[in-house]
Every structure is written in C-alpha cells, then in structure tokens.
A and B are shown apart, each in its own frame.
Chain A
Amino acid sequence: MFANRISQKLHEEHSATVAIMERLEALIASYRRGPPAGNRDAEVLLLREIADGVESEVKRHFDFEEQHLFTFLDTIGDAAIGAHLTAEHTAMRPLGERLAALARTGSSAGFDEASWSEFQRVGMDLAERMLTHVQKEEMALLPLLEDAMDAPMEARLYDAYAANA
C-alpha cells in the first residue's frame, strides 16, 4: 500500500492494533454486567493478545514515532502534527500500561467485580482514543512521511525501526 517501508510497517502495526481494539470492544460489550464467569481458553488467549498488543503499541510504536519520526518532521518544519500526536500518546500511555497489566492478571487469575469494572473503563477509554488516533495517523502521518522522506532518510530510519523490532 505504501512505497515507503516505514509507512508500510506502521500501517501493518495499525491494522493489528485496530483488530485488537475491536476485539477488546467486543469482549467488553459481551460482559457488560459483570466479569466473565470462568477463564475460557479463547478469552485467556484474547487477554494475552490484548496485553502484548497494547504494550507493543504504547511502548515500541509510540517511542519510535516520537524519537525518530516526529523529530524528522520537526526538522522539515512540520512540528504541529508531531505535537498533536504526542499529546495523544501521552494520554494513552498510562491507559495502555494499566490495561496490559489488568489483562495479564485477568488472563492468569480471572477478574473480580472491581478489576473487571476497571478493565471495562480503561479499555473503552483506550479503545476510543486509539481508534481515533490510528485514523489520524493513517490519514495524515503516513502519507506525509511518504511525501516528505527521501531514500537515504528512509533507509536510516528503517534501520532504527528494525533495531527496535
């Protein structure tokens, strides 16, 4: 879809993140009134995928964008988009870390009323923010990188991405 390898990699990660967020929303919607009764294999697996996926997104993906891509955009005079997306990262990081921790605990020990209620609240908040955020990055950030980045810069940043993968 994208000729720029960084845009393409981020696009693939976005696709995985959107799928995880939609499954998270579906899980929360399935158990509106209380936590899942038992630890079914499919739900345990999903919770682990949520924990891994969210952790990867809010740590590796966000960090790479902030440390490499937004600084690159800053150097070419397009700082506003980086500032806007960084503000959204800052709002989502604590939510993602908390959700990953809750999902990991839930996958091994199950949920009680209080932890499920918190999982629902944090999960819905994160899912909504994340889906809108991905929408903005897909529509604005990735095409901008495609337009603005020359081949040597792409190679250098792709190496940085691969080193963190």
Chain B
Amino acid sequence: MTAAAGFLGGAKSRLLPASIPFRFFAAAALFHVAMWVVLIFAAEQVIGFRGGMVPALAAVHLLVLGVLTTTAIGAAVQLLPVATRHALAAHWPIKLVFWMFVPGIVLLTASMYLGRIELVIAGAVASTAGLLLFAGLLGDNLRRAGGLPIVAAYGWAALAALLAVILLGLALSVDFATGFLRDHAAVVRAHAILGGYGFMGMLALGFSHVLIPMFALSSAPEKRPATAGFLAAAAGVALGSFGAVLGHPHLLTAATLVGLVAVGIHLWLMLRALRTGMRKRLGLSFILVRAAWVSLPLSLLIGLAASHDRAGPNGPALFGLLLLGGWLLTFLLGVLQRILPFLASMHATAPERRAPPRLSELGATAPLNVHAICHGTALAGLAGAILFDASAAARVAGTIGLLGAMAFALFTADVIRRLPLASHASPLPSGG
C-alpha cells in the first residue's frame, strides 16, 4: 500500500466532518491577512528584527503560529488518519484544540503587539494547552503509522521539536516578566530553529513524501535515500538547537552543513519524483513549491552567514524571511491551494444521475493568480527592504503581501462556500 493509497480505500469513513479541518484553514487565512497588516505597521522593526517584545514579534508569531501551525494542525488531523488508515477516536478533542489554540494565538499576538507582558504569558499558556493536546493526538496517530515509516519518522521528530519549542516559548514569555534566563537571545535562536526547521520544517519534509508523489503521479521516494535525508535533517536540527543555546558558532556551522546535506537529498528525491511522474504540467501551485525549494537552502546559507556576522546588520531578519516566508509559507500556500479543493471533492457524494463536481468547480482560480503574483512580489520586496534597510519599501511590500493574503482568503472562503456543491453535484454531462 502506498502512502497515499488510503485516500479512497474506505477513506470517506476516516474523513472528518468538513467543518473541522476547514475551520483551521479559515482561521489560518485570517491570520495570514492579520500578519501582513501588523507587518505594515511594524515595518521599521521588521527589517532589522532580532527578537524582543516589539510589534514585529506579533507579526512573526501570527505567521508561525497563526498561519503555519494552524494549517499544519488542520492538515495533520485530516491527512494522517486517512493516510495511516486509522480513524481518530473522537472529534471533540480536535475541536477543543481549535478553541484553545486559536483564541490563545489572538491573545498572544495582540499582547505582543501591545507589549502587555502579563497577557503574553496568558496567551502563551492558552496556545500551549492547545498545542499539547494536538501533540497528544498527533502522537496517537503516529503510533499507528507503521506503514509509513518515513512520514512517521518525520512526524515523531516534529513532535519532539514541538515539545521543545513549547518549553522554550513558555520560558521566553515568562522571562519577559522575570528575566530569569541567562541568555535570552540564545534561547530565542534555539526557539526559532526548533520552530522553523524542527516542528514545521520536519512536518513539511515528511508530508512532502506523500503529497509530491501524489500530485506528480510518481512512485514514493526510495526508502534508503529518504531515511538518510531524514537522519541528516534530524541531526541538523539537533545540532543547530544545541549550537544556538550554547552560543557555539562551530556547532551552528556543522548544523548548517548537515542541514544542507539533508536538503540536497530531499530536493533530489522530490525532483526525481517530478521527473519520473506522469504529470508534467503541475500548474501554478508548483511554481510556489519550486520557489520554496530554492528558499530552503538559501535560508541555511544566510543563517550560516548571519551566525558569523557576515550577513550584514539585518542578516537575522533576512534569515527569518527566507526560512518562514520563502520556504515554509510559500511551500504551505502552494500545497494548500491543491489540497483544499481535493479535500472538498472527497466530501462529494454523487447521487444517482449526478456527476461528481470537478476540482475547478470547488474553488475559483483567479484569486490564486493574484495571490501568487502578490506573494512573490511581496517577499522579493521585503528581502530588498531588509538588505537596504528601507522601511518605506517594506511597507509597500507589506501592502502587496496583504493584497495577496486577501486573495488567498477569498479563495479559501470560496472553497468553503462551495462545500455544499460537493454534496449536491451537478447533473451528468451530456457531452454534446
């Protein structure tokens, strides 16, 4: 059984009610819009951001928790049970995750923006509670994912990174009030590596082993190189995290080199899947995916340069942009625009003498074109603004990014609006 085989083989019985995953996707789309709004208002700090309780911190957490993690939760709770062929025991814990995590992010990021330290801790506690419950659900499903060893390995590594990132995040939020940490900046760096490359990065790499072959119609990546890629990725994250906490530049260099090996293996496997896949015309979504693949090794190289103070005064901000915006956000949006209509189609029931809806009937494509242009322009503009320390340019780039995020939110809303169409399919075509 291939990794994606479960999508149809009894998959409908393992599909959650559409309202459950789509509430996470809808929330992520709104956080995406909010992130660009905050970025516009905090443009001066964003271009030179190195951490600290400033409004730019709210933009970073709206992106990482609001967009990336919220989407990852929605996707993981839906895709994993289908792919592993093991349904979740109950739906209420996922709803509870949503109602703890999403309001927690709102409180956390609003208080970060306003600089209200006591509320930051409350928001961190609420979102942490949601994340811990999600970690339990993820762990329970991974335990039964024996048929997907590589995906499961990435999943376990992501879970371990999630627990570490939660711990460090809580410590950082308390440290804002008490100052108990000896080196706040070092913990911030470890928190960023564990969150970006550890939790979200490992999930993205792991799910790629299912999703990219599924889209390209190719075989699953070979086990040996995939295992080597996983081991290198996990070692890179571990080395990087320890190197950051200990403030050890040689460890960070070693982590980057090991990380580059992992990225090299991963990209080789993914490009091989595309080259050998039946589908050659993969459309707009894969322009975003390919751009993300370029950003991933670039982020490591800029990170390495920044750790040795060779990336200019705004090097850390450029590193953050490439890691979070260029790699993770771009990859996620590329994949999400294919998953949303596909997931909607899985909820389709075809009554007698009715044709199942086409994917293009389940989501408008025009907003995606607008989004792709705006997203690429905004990230390129932000990179330029960071390099030249130009806050006005960052504001313009942010406005373009905001338009793109609104277009993507429109697309998400359109898929949700058309969900009933999926269960009231159109009459059979006559062909004439």
Chain A residues within 8 Å of B, Cβ to Cβ: 1, 14-15, 18-19, 22, 25-26, 78, 80-81, 84-85, 87-88, 90-91, 93-99, 118, 122, 125, 128-129, 131-132, 134-136, 138-141, 143-144, 146-147
Contacts and interface: CB of A to CB of B under 8 A. Distances in A.
Contacts of A136: 7-8
B281 A25 contact: yes
Nearest to A98: B431
B360 interface: yes
B5 A139 contact: yes
10 contacts: A22-B281, A25-B281, A78-B9, A81-B10, A91-B428, A91-B429, A128-B359, A132-B359, A139-B5, A140-B7
Contacts of B358: 125, 128-129, 132
Interface string B207-226: 00000001001010000000
B431 A94 contact: yes
A95 B280 contact: no
Given A25-B281, A84-B8, A139 B214 contact: yes
Given A14-B278, A22-B280, A95-B431, A140 B356 contact: no
Nearest to B432: A98
Contacts of A85: 8
B10 A78 contact: yes
Interface in B336-386: 345, 350, 355-356, 358-360
A90 B428 contact: yes
A131 B279 contact: yes
Contacts of B8: 81, 84-85, 136, 139-141
B5 A144 contact: yes
Interface size class of B (residues with CB under 8 A): 20 to 34
Interface in B1-35: 1-2, 4-12
A118 B356 CA distance: 21
User: Top 3 closest A-B pairs, CB basis?
Assistant: A94-B431, A140-B8, A98-B431
B178 interface: no
B8, B214, B355, B432: most-surrounded residue (chain A CB, <10 A): B8
Interface string B259-283: 0000000000000000000111100
Contacts of A19: 278
A122 B358 CA distance: 13
A91 B356 contact: yes
A91 B217 contact: no
Contact of A140 (B5, B219, B432): B5
B285 to A, nearest CB: 14
Contacts of B428: 90-91, 94
A128 B11 CA distance: 22
Contacts of A14: 217, 278
B9 A144 contact: yes
A132 B358 CA distance: 8
A95 B429 contact: yes
Contacts of A22: 279-281
Given A91-B429, A125-B429, A80 B10 contact: yes
Given A95-B429, A139-B5, A87 B214 contact: no
Contacts of A138: 217, 278
Given A14-B278, A97-B431, A128-B360, A139 B355 contact: no
Contacts of A146: 1
A13 to B, nearest CB: 11
A94 B189 CA distance: 60
A22 B280 CA distance: 8
A140 B219 CA distance: 13
B356 A87 contact: yes
B5 A143 contact: yes
B282 to A, nearest CB: 10
B7, B9, B345: most-surrounded residue (chain A CB, <10 A): B9
Given A25-B281, A81-B9, A136-B8, A90 B355 contact: yes
Contacts of A87: 350, 355-356
A98 B355 CA distance: 16
A140 B6 contact: yes
Interface string B197-210: 00000000000000
B9 A140 contact: yes
A157 to B, nearest CB: 18
Contacts of B355: 87, 90-91
B9, B11, B358, B431: most-surrounded residue (chain A CB, <10 A): B431
A96 B432 CA distance: 10
Given A22-B279, A135-B217, A80 B12 contact: yes
Contacts of B2: 139, 143
B4, B281, B428, B429: most-surrounded residue (chain A CB, <10 A): B429
A18 B430 contact: no
A140 B278 CA distance: 16
B356 A88 contact: yes
Nearest to A140: B8
B219, B278, B350, B355: most-surrounded residue (chain A CB, <10 A): B278
Interface in B228-275: none
A135 B214 CA distance: 7
Interface string B394-429: 000000000000000000000000000000000011
A75 B411 CA distance: 42
Contacts of B359: 128, 132
Contact of A134 (B278, B429, B432): B278
A50 to B, nearest CB: 15
